[in-house]
Amino acid sequence: MIKVVVAGGTPEYTDKWRERFAKACSSMEFIGWDANGAAVDADYAVVWRPPAELFLRERRLKAIFNLGAGVDSLLCLPELPRGLPVVRVEDAGMARQMIEYAVHGLIHLTRNFDEYAGLQRAGQWKPLPPVLPRKWPVGVMGQGVIGGQVAQAIANLGYPVAGWSRSRRELQGVQSYAGAEELPAFLERTRVLVNVLPLTPETENILNRDTLGRLLPGGYLINVARGLHVVDEDLLALIDSGHLQGALLDVFREEPLPAGHPYWRHPKIRVTPHIAAISLEEETVSQILGKLEQLQAGQAISGIVARGNGY
Ligand code: NDP
Ligand code: OXD
């Protein structure tokens, strides 16, 4: 029988996913990672931020399935064998959640909901001028499985939208920018920047004084990708100088965001605890099981990470 080891997070987290897989598939054996146990000779692993020892102990693995879209916390492990295929989750309900999150952040900003909250506190009835989407050009960094859908959903609301990716992507209603050489032009036409990039050596610290400083005056950042994309001091300085009017941040260099971090109490920064899109159990389990079966049948699968590109 095919053996699949499930590893990562807390023992409860591992257990929850192991049970889900076992319930959905009786033709494979799903074994929860035991930090003090022996090798189980697993054929595959299903992981989220797994312990490095997994790769030292389980030597027969044919592929690793990551329980999320971002593989940064996996690829950074030196113990991960070089040639071992890593498969990431493709969408599985996350794009819809990410669209909701980005659209919420955008509309909250452009429709003046913070200001209306202040007016309510002051007991004032004061309609503000209507929003003109053309004054709010949106730029989405990352045009992959999730970023592409976010860009198109925002374009469908009537906002001018551009997308930036490594290779050129032609999505309906979205102006395409590609590669490092087109990044300045992409930023300089953008007022609301939505970051949906993977974290790689090329994208770490990509949101810094220079890049964020290129956004149109009154710019705003929505970061749903990874905290290591942002140079925190630069973001804070640009907000405090008034060049940016604020940020909605879901991800942080250190998670949970440490107590006392300036983001917690900054009046122009909104913080959420890495919930922009959560791997949905049913969709994720059925996607991974489908791919496991395809691999067992010798078929090609999608979602294999290009290790050289880092995503
Ligand atoms: P994909 O791999 O499908 O898409 C990645 C996109 O980023 C592609 O368009 C790719 O370009 C582009 N890209 C990668 N490197 C560069 C670069 N150096 N310069 C320009 N563009 C680049 O990823 P997903 O859409 O599935 O997910 C994106 C990220 O979202 C994840 O890696 C994860 O970090 C984050 N995430 C966060 C969640 C949360 O809850 N906060 C939940 C889920 C995901 P190209 O098209 O040319 O390949
Ligand atoms: C992911 C995440 O990468 O949840 O899937 O951050």
What's 22's domain CATH number? 3.40.50.720
Per-residue confidence (pLDDT) for residue 183, from 0 to 100: 98
Per-residue confidence (pLDDT) for residue 307, from 0 to 100: 96
Q: 35 alpha carbon to ligand 1 midpoint, in Å?
A: 31
Nearest atom of ligand 1 to the alpha carbon of 278: 40
Per-residue confidence (pLDDT) for residue 163, from 0 to 100: 98
Is the domain of 228 the same as that of 284?
no
Does 68 contact ligand 2 (Cβ within 6 A)?
A: yes
Residue 30 phi/psi, 5-degree rounding, is -105, 125
Nearest atom of ligand 1 to the alpha carbon of 70: 32
Task: Identify the sign of the CA torsion 202, 206, 209, 212.
Answer: positive
Does 198 contact ligand 2 (Cβ within 6 A)?
A: no
The residue type found at 282 is: E
Is the domain of 155 the same as that of 251?
yes
Per-residue confidence (pLDDT) for residue 9, from 0 to 100: 86
Does 169 contact ligand 1 (Cβ within 6 A)?
A: yes
Is the domain of 237 the same as that of 131?
yes
Nearest atom of ligand 2 to the alpha carbon of 71: 3
Q: Which residues does the annotation mark as catalytic?
A: 226, 274
pLDDT averages per 10-residue partition of the chain, 311 residues = 95 95 98 96 97 96 98 96 97 98 98 98 97 97 98 98 98 98 98 98 98 98 98 98 98 98 98 96 97 96 97 98
Per-residue confidence (pLDDT) for residue 62, from 0 to 100: 97
Per-residue confidence (pLDDT) for residue 229, from 0 to 100: 99
Does residue 58 lie within any of the structural domains? yes
pTM exceeds cut of 0.95? yes
Does residue 309 lie within any of the structural domains? no
Is the domain of 176 the same as that of 117?
yes
Is the domain of 58 the same as that of 200?
no
Domain count, the chain: 2
Per-residue confidence (pLDDT) for residue 152, from 0 to 100: 98
Q: Which domain holds residue 135?
A: 94-271
Is the domain of 140 the same as that of 236?
yes
Q: 200 alpha carbon to ligand 1 midpoint, in Å?
A: 10
Does residue 307 lie within any of the structural domains? no
Residue nearest to atom 2 of ligand 2 (CA): 68
Per-residue confidence (pLDDT) for residue 249, from 0 to 100: 99
